[in-house]
Amino acid sequence: MQFDNLKSILSTPIAPEMKSDVDYKLASVLIVIYGEHPTIIMTEKPKSMKFHAGEISFPGGKFDQNDSTLLDTALRETREEIGLNVSKNDVIGQLAPVQTLTTKFLILPFVSMLKQIPPLVTNSEVEKILHIPLTPFLQTFAIDSDPSHNLMDEMYTFEYENQIVWGASARILKQIENTLRFI
């Protein structure tokens, strides 16, 4: 799929504010897709982290009271985690919120598409930055069969270089896969 077609398909209205019930903390992520042959950026968390250790995820994090909106959170976290400054004008849409089951976050995913990106730099929250060709990656979709993960109906996996993406990140990817499936 070409960049402009994908951008058109993934463009949606942006509503960067969301309310959560008392049980969930608000967070957001930025799905960065770049290049003429669309590539998606994901990160591998260090194994030493307290939460989500070693998991593959999107840049993002918890809403901070200094952030005006969840979009500001996603942009700030992306800048902090991988050194990528994305402007609000480069955010083309958002997906439906997803929940984490163990850490009780309600995550609002935003989508950004860039023609190109500069070299990226990790901070202490990121072990490694993954540049994943989007179309082949989405074709690895499977139902999550790990019994320790199956805590709800919507449990999926995607695979890249023998690493499994599961949980909230996989549910976000599934939304993209659903959108592109019949294109």
- Is 47 contained in some domain? yes
Which residues is 32 bridged to in the sheet?
41, 112
Side chain identity, residue 85 = N
Condensed to tens digits (0 to 9), the pLDDT of residues 82-115 reads 999 999 999 999 999 998 877 889 999 999 999 9
Q: Total domain count for the chain?
A: 1
- Is 42 contained in some domain? yes
pLDDT above 60: residue 136: yes
Contact 14, 111 (CB under 8 A): no
User: Is 145 or 4 the better-scoring residue by pLDDT?
Assistant: 4
Which residues is 107 bridged to in the sheet?
27, 98
The pLDDT assigned to 112 comes to 98
Domain that holds residue 125: 3-134
The pLDDT assigned to 113 comes to 97
- Is 179 contained in some domain? no
Q: Output the domain CATH number for residue 50.
A: 3.90.79.10
Report the residue count for the chain. Answer: 183
- Is 16 contained in some domain? yes
- Is 143 contained in some domain? no
Residue 47's pLDDT band, with cuts at 50, 70 and 90, is confident
- Is 157 contained in some domain? no
User: Is 87 or 147 the better-scoring residue by pLDDT?
Assistant: 87
Residue 9's pLDDT band, with cuts at 50, 70 and 90, is very high
- Is 159 contained in some domain? no
Task: Say whether 89 sits in a helix, a strand or coil.
Answer: helix
* Alpha helices for the chain (secondary structure H): 3-10, 70-82, 134-138, 167-180
The pLDDT assigned to 54 comes to 73
Q: How far apart are CA 166 and CA 147, in angstroms?
A: 12
The pLDDT assigned to 48 comes to 74
Q: How far apart are CA 127 and CA 43, in angstroms?
A: 7
Task: Say whether 180 sits in a helix, a strand or coil.
Answer: helix
Q: How far apart are CA 70 and CA 9, in angstroms?
A: 22
Q: How far apart are CA 96 and CA 92, in angstroms?
A: 14
Beta strands 98-99 and 105-114 are antiparallel
User: Cβ contacts of residue 132 below 8 Å, gap of 6+?
Assistant: 39, 40, 41, 42, 160
- Is 151 contained in some domain? no
Structure-block tokens of residue 83: 């050194």
